[in-house]
């Protein structure tokens, strides 16, 4: 049995259900987060990466969607820790917090509709291969921020992602890259994009209709720590074709090297040296192997009680 948190209660996941008349199911009026926990078997400890930062972004998404989650960041973190300790998943874990318009109301609005929050976890390995993927430039454009806010993880906006990913898979690719309406590179289907040219790491700015990624910020911090020069600037489509290295980053994809794009080889066709260094550092940090980054992690020891884990009781 997997424990979840839903509408103020801890209960079995299969009991955390909604009506087909639920507003969010009909209109996509919800927001969510994706959080990873990495299991260190030698220490019998799960390390949750950037837990607080994810819930802070969750709160910002709720604000944009006029959703009142009814809980503080501390309370949501505590509920998550309790679920993880109860479920004791013997491996890496994906955590999904969800806030949504919960009333059975047939009306397209955000006002006057009740809100609900749920949190559940599932085992999750690699979302995409981490030894090299083949991507395409999607014919679908990234939704503009003035249409559906890209800096919020809004449930309904992921139709944009689903359309692009489905087309990519039908065409034999692993994933898709979005352009903005002005033709500049935005990001991957559900991940931020980095390239390397002449030893410089480059990623797109928040003004290119991207999700302001927590992993993206972490990679930029890694680059500073490793003294890899970096830039945040607009990227043209053809710049992807001449890049020395390309890779996607995000909670789901982690650090996923791109070795081919639109049937063109990226660099030498192998995982590049900058990507390899950043990927290796990411996994070392995520598994609690580098004390320098301990403040990035929330350690959940399955054998010990967690102070504050009963904060919602």
> Under a CB-based contact definition with an 8 Å cutoff, are residues 137 and 179 in contact?
yes
Each domain of the chain, given as residue ranges in start order, spans: 3-125, 133-291
Is CATH 3.20.10.10 the classification given to domain 133-291? yes
284: Cβ contacts below 8 Å, ≥ 6 apart:
290
User: pLDDT confidence of 307, banded at 50, 70, 90?
Assistant: very low
Stated pTM of the model: 0.94
Active site residues: 153
- Residue 106 in 3-state DSSP? coil
- The yes-or-no verdict on residue 313 having pLDDT over 90 is no
pLDDT digits (tens, 9 = 90+) for 202-215: 999 999 999 999 99
* Cα dihedral 131, 282, 288, 293 in deg (nearest 10): 170
pLDDT digits (tens, 9 = 90+) for 16-46: 999 999 999 999 999 999 999 999 999 999 9
CATH of domain 3-125: 3.30.470.10
143: which DSSP letter? P
Per-residue pLDDT, averaged over 240-269, amounts to 98
70: Cβ contacts below 8 Å, ≥ 6 apart:
8, 115, 117
């Amino acid at each position: 049995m997997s424990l979840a948190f839903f509408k103020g209660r801890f209960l079995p996941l299969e009991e955390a259900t909604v009506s087909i008349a639920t507003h969010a199911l009909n209109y996509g009026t919800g927001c969510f987060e994706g959080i990873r926990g990495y299991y260190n078997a030698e220490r019998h400890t799960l390390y949750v990466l950037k837990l607080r930062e994810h819930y802070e972004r969750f709160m910002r998404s709720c604000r944009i969607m006029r959703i009142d989650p009814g809980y503080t960041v501390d309370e949501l973190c505590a509920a998550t820790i309790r679920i993880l300790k109860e479920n004791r998943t013997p491996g890496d874990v994906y955590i999904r917090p969800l806030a949504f318009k919960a009333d059975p109301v047939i009306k397209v609005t955000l006002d006057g509709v009740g809100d609900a929050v749920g949190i559940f976890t599932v085992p999750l390995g690699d979302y995409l291969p981490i030894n090299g993927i083949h991507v395409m430039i999607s014919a679908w454009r990234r939704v503009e921020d003035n249409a559906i806010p890209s800096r919020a993880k809004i449930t309904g906006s992921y139709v944009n992602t689903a359309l692009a990913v489905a087309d990519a898979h039908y065409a034999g690719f692993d994933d898709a890259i979005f352009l903005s309406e002005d033709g500049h590179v935005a990001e991957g289907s559900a991940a931020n994009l980095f390239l390397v040219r002449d030893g410089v790491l480059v990623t797109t700015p928040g003004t290119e209709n991207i999700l302001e990624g927590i992993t993206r910020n972490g990679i930029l911090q890694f680059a500073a720590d490793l003294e890899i020069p970096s830039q945040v600037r607009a990227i043209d489509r053809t710049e992807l074709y001449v890049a020395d290295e390309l890779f996607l980053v995000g909670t789901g994809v982690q650090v996923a090297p791109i070795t081919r794009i639109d049937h063109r080889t990226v660099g030498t066709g192998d995982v590049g040296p900058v990507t390899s260094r950043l990927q290796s550092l990411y996994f070392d940090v995520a598994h609690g192997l580098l004390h320098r980054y301990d403040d990035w992690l929330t350690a959940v020891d399955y054998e010990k009680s967690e102070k504050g884990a009963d904060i919602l009781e």
